[in-house]
C-alpha cells in the first residue's frame, strides 16, 4: 500500500497493522511443515551450494530441503539466535551467502524472539484460564525475516498522529519485504554480537550455579526453582494483564502478581499446560537439566545460543535438525521434551535424509 492509502485508514493502528501482516503470514503457512535448522545446517547448505562440500549425505539433505520448499510443502524458519550466530561469521561474503540460503529456504519466515513469544503465550494462557475463553484469534508468533529481532516501527517523529501512523505502516511494509541478505550485509557483525557480554552471561550462570550447588537437594527441587524463575519472567512481560485482573485479587494477601506467578509456575508442571507455554517451559527444563544432570559441565556462550534455538524449534516447529548435544538434551528421558512438544529432533545425517525423503513421499 502507498502512503496515501495508509492515510485513508487512520483507524488501523500500527499494532493492528503488524498483527494483520503476521496473521496473513500464519494463514499462508497452514499445512506446511516447519523444519528448524541450527546454524551448522545453514552453513552446510551454503557449502553445498558453493561447491565447497561434495559430501553425498550433505548434498542429499540440501536436495530434499530445496525440493520440499520449492513444492510448497515445507519451510525452514529462523529465530533470533540464528541471526545472532549468522552475524558471528567474520567473513562478510560467507555471511551474505549463508543469509541468501536462508532467504531461499525460510519462506521469508522468522519466529518472534523469546520475550515476545513468552509474552503472547502468557497472555493467551492467563486470559483463557481466567475468562474461560481464549483470545480470538491468538496472536501469531510468525513474522517476516527482517523482523527476526522483533516487530519494530519508527516512533516520536515530527509528523502529526495521523501522518505518523501512516508512515509507521508504510515503513513496516517496506522492511517486511526486504531479504535477510541486506540486513546481514548492512550490520557490523563484531559490534552486533558483543561476544564478551555473552561469555560474561555464561560465566555468571556458572558462578551462580556453583554458589548454590550445596543447596541443591534433588532434580525436583531444581525444577521448582527454574519454573518459578520462568514464571516470574513471564509475568513481568504482561504488566497490563496484571493490572486488568488485579481487582479480582484484591482480597488475596499476596497480591495479583504473585497469584499469577504461582499459577504459571504450577502450570509448567503439567505437560498439557506446558504445551501452551512452550518458551517458558523449555527454558525452565533446559536450565534444570543443566543444573542437575549436567552439573559438572560448564555452560558456554554457545550453549546459550543452543538453549534459545531449542526453545524456538521444539516449541513451534515440526522438526529440529541440530547438533548432537542439544538434541540429547531435548530427548533426555527425565523430561522427553521432544515428545511433550511433539517435535522430531534429529542430529544424525542419515536420519535427516530418511525424514526428508518421507516428507517428499
The whole-number pLDDT of residue 89 equals 82
DSSP H or E segment with residue 342: none
In this predicted structure, the answer to whether residue 234 has a pLDDT above a threshold of 90 is yes
Q: Tell me the pTM.
A: 0.93
Residue pLDDT, tens place only, 278-294 = 999 999 999 999 999 99
Residue pLDDT, tens place only, 156-183 = 888 888 889 999 999 999 999 899 999 8
The whole-number pLDDT of residue 210 equals 85
Closest CA to 140 of 25, 311, 279: 25
pLDDT category of residue 253 using cuts at 50, 70 and 90: low
In this predicted structure, the answer to whether residue 213 has a pLDDT above a threshold of 90 is no
The pLDDT of 2-20, averaged and rounded, is 90
Closest CA to 349 of 64, 34, 52, 51: 64
Residues in the chain: 361
How much of the chain exceeds pLDDT 90, in percent? 68
The whole-number pLDDT of residue 157 equals 84
**pLDDT, averaged across the chain:** 91
Task: Note whether 279 and 315 are within 8 A (CB).
Answer: yes
The pLDDT of 315-329, averaged and rounded, is 96
Whole-angstrom distance, CA of residue 2 vs CA of residue 166: 9
Closest CA to 61 of 178, 53, 21: 53
The whole-number pLDDT of residue 12 equals 93
How much of the chain exceeds pLDDT 70, in percent? 95
For residue 157, what are the contacts with CB-CB under 8 A and spacing of at least 6? 164, 167
Whole-angstrom distance, CA of residue 34 vs CA of residue 31: 9
If you ran DSSP here, which 8-state letter would residue 245 be given?
H
The whole-number pLDDT of residue 5 equals 87
Task: Note whether 120 and 86 are within 8 A (CB).
Answer: no
Task: Note whether 321 and 32 are within 8 A (CB).
Answer: no
Residue pLDDT, tens place only, 19-59 = 999 999 999 999 999 999 999 999 999 999 999 988 999 99
Amino acid at each position: 500500500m502507498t502512503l496515501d492509502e495508509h492515510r485513508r485508514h487512520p483507524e488501523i493502528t500500527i499494532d493492528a497493522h503488524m498483527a494483520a501482516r503476521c496473521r496473513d503470514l500464519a494463514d499462508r503457512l497452514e499445512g506446511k511443515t516447519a523444519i528448524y535448522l541450527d546454524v551448522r545446517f545453514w552453513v552446510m547448505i551454503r557449502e553445498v551450494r558453493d561447491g565447497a562440500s561434495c559430501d553425498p549425505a550433505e548434498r542429499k539433505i540440501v536436495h530434499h530441503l530445496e525440493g520440499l520448499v520449492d513444492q510448497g510443502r515445507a519451510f525452514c524458519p529462523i529465530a533470533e539466535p540464528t541471526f545472532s550466530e549468522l552475524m558471528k561469521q567474520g567473513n562478510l561474503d560467507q555471511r551474505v551467502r549463508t543469509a541468501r540460503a536462508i532467504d531461499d529456504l525460510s519462506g521469508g519466515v522468522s519466529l518472534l524472539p523469546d520475550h515476545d513469544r513468552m509474552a503472547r503465550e502468557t497472555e493467551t494462557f492467563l486470559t483463557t484460564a481466567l475468562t474461560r475463553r481464549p483470545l480470538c484469534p491468538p496472536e501469531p508468533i510468525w513474522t517476516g525475516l527482517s523482523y527476526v529481532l522483533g516487530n519494530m516501527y519508527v516512533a516520536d517523529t515530527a509528523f502529526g498522529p495521523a501522518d505518523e501512523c501512516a508512515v509507521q505502516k508504510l515503513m513496516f511494509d517496506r522492511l517486511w519485504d526486504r531479504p535477510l541478505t541486506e540486513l546481514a550485509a548492512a550490520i557490523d557483525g563484531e559490534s552486533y554480537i558483543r561476544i564478551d557480554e555473552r561469555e560474561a552471561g555464561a560465566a555468571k550462570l556458572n558462578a551462580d550455579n556453583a554458589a548454590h550447588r550445596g543447596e541443591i537437594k534433588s532434580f525436583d527441587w531444581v525444577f521448582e526453582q527454574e519454573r518459578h524463575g520462568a514464571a516470574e519472567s513471564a509475568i513481568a512481560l504482561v504488566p497490563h494483564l496484571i493490572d486488568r485482573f488485579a481487582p479480582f485479587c484484591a482480597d488475596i494477601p499476596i497480591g495479583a502478581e504473585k497469584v499469577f506467578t504461582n499459577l504459571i509456575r504450577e502450570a509448567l508442571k503439567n505437560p498439557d499446560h506446558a504445551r501452551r507455554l512452550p518458551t517458558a517451559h523449555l527454558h525452565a527444563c533446559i536450565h534444570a537439566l543443566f543444573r542437575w544432570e549436567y552439573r559438572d559441565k560448564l555452560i558456554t556462550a554457545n550453549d546459550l545460543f543452543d538453549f534459545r534455538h531449542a526453545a524456538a524449534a521444539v516449541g513451534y516447529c515440526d522438526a529440529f535438525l541440530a547438533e548432537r548435544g542439544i538434541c540429547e538434551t531435548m530427548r533426555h528421558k527425565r523430561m522427553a521434551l521432544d515428545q511433550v512438544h511433539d517435535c522430531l529432533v534429529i542430529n544424525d545425517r542419515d536420519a535427516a535424509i530418511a525424514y526428508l525423503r518421507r516428507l517428499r513421499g
